[in-house]
Amino acid sequence: MSLNKISNSSKVGLIKRTITAILLMAVVIPCAILGNWPFFILNLLLSLVAIHEVLAAPGPKRYNWLVKGVVYLFVISFIYWVFLKNMLRDPNLNPFTNGGIFTMTDIFVSISGVILFALVLFVIAIFDSKIQLQDVTYLFTVGLVVALGFMGIFFVRYFPNNTGFIQNPNFANMTVTGTWNSTVILKNYFHDYYVANNIDQSLASCLLLFFICIGTWAGDVGAYLFGMLFGKHRMNPRISPHKTWEGFIGGALFGSLLALGFAALFEFAFNMPLVPGLVQFGHSPALEAMNVMGGRAWPYLIFMTIMLPVVGNVGGFTFSLIKRQYGIKDFGKVFPGHGGVIDRFDSILANSIVATILIWITAYGWVFTV
């Protein structure tokens, strides 16, 4: 297979992307490791910029202050309502009184809030001739997707934190066997595992987020390089003219192998699985106690690894479709060489949503009636 000739503009673009990526990692990695308030604040800032980019995509003066205020209010409430709901339900989940520890024991979107969001947008469209039906569907759909994506990012970081296991009344008590031996409440499974194995829980609880980021972004880098060097066959010229099948395959293999290697390194070298009892190579007493897959957790790990490049590309194409619709190259310019927050995190948002759903229903033992 012959190599493509790399233009000077591509070389300059690659250098710019690399420098931006290094600076971005210098901020994201410490916040992700620290978790709790640093990660909360970082995600809040990113979500605010992302909402601004959604509103600016159809044109900087397309929407008035009322429309912008409504979108900001509802999207932010969708992202952070789960924290307020959990704090009201359990005072121990209040980061203002528990020492600043954030956990997510549940995922939740207010159906009433979703319906009200749609109704308010329709009412605005009825009385404002500048707001068309396309604007209503765009703001509602994309706003909800962005909200679910950032909620997913919070979930994959905060769910393994502290005692963040979902309380499932059907599996309240179980006997755990293996390297430790005790009867525990299911929601305390993570905590017991980390204590029994003398593991720093604040560090170990960030592994799932890093796994998703590595699989996604390494896949993007691999796709960019393989596509630039070997790309011949376009995947979808109408939506993303530069993405090729060669780049996708190369990026998928590179990202999946790197993510799988990351998971294997921490589990076998440091006894730190991505999510103890749910996403790991070894046998899971938790899944066995819940009669799920006979205690085999590795299929979920493999599935998530394969899922990352596929779902990530779906997320990328989805937001690229929006950019083509409104004739813009990028959603923003906050990250030189990468574009805006949505341009950089579109695949992460999509993967976080799917990973959250998979982990959540697995923690419930695939019982859909709870």
pLDDT of residue 245 exceeding 80, the answer is yes
Minimum mean pLDDT range among 61-70, 96-105, 340-349: 96-105
Q: Which residues contact 139 (CB under 8 A, 6 or more apart)?
A: 54, 55, 67, 71, 121
Residue 168 pLDDT greater than 80, yes or no: no
Q: Using CA atoms, how far apart are residues 206 and 161, in angstroms rounded to an integer?
A: 8
Indicate whether 167 pLDDT > 60.
no
Residue 89 has pLDDT above 70, yes or no: yes
- How much of the chain exceeds pLDDT 70, in percent? 87
Q: What is the pTM of this model?
A: 0.87
Closest CA to 370 of 171, 212, 201, 209: 171
The per-residue pLDDT for 176 is 43
Mean pLDDT for the stretch of residues 99-112: 80
Amino acid letter, 110: S
Rounded Cα distance, 139 and 26, in Å: 32
Least confident of 200-204, 307-311, 340-344, 365-369: 365-369
Q: Which helix (H) or strand (E) holds 207?
A: helix 207-230
Per-residue model confidence (pLDDT) at position 299: 92
Show the tokens assigned to 164.
């963040």
**Average pLDDT over every residue of 308-335:** 93
What is d(CA 296, CA 193) in angstroms, rounded to the nearest whole number?
17
Compute the distance between CA of residue 105 and CA of residue 166 in angstroms, rounded to an integer: 5
CA distance 180 to 173: 16
Find the mean pLDDT for residues 63-90.
Answer: 91
How far is Cα 163 from Cα 178, in angstroms, rounded to an integer?
A: 20
Enclosing H/E stretch for 225? helix 207-230
Contact call for residues 197 and 271 (beta carbons, < 8 A):
yes
Q: Where are the beta strands (DSSP E) in the chain?
A: 173-176, 182-185, 234-236, 240-244
pLDDT at 231: 79
Is residue 154's pLDDT more than 70? Answer: yes
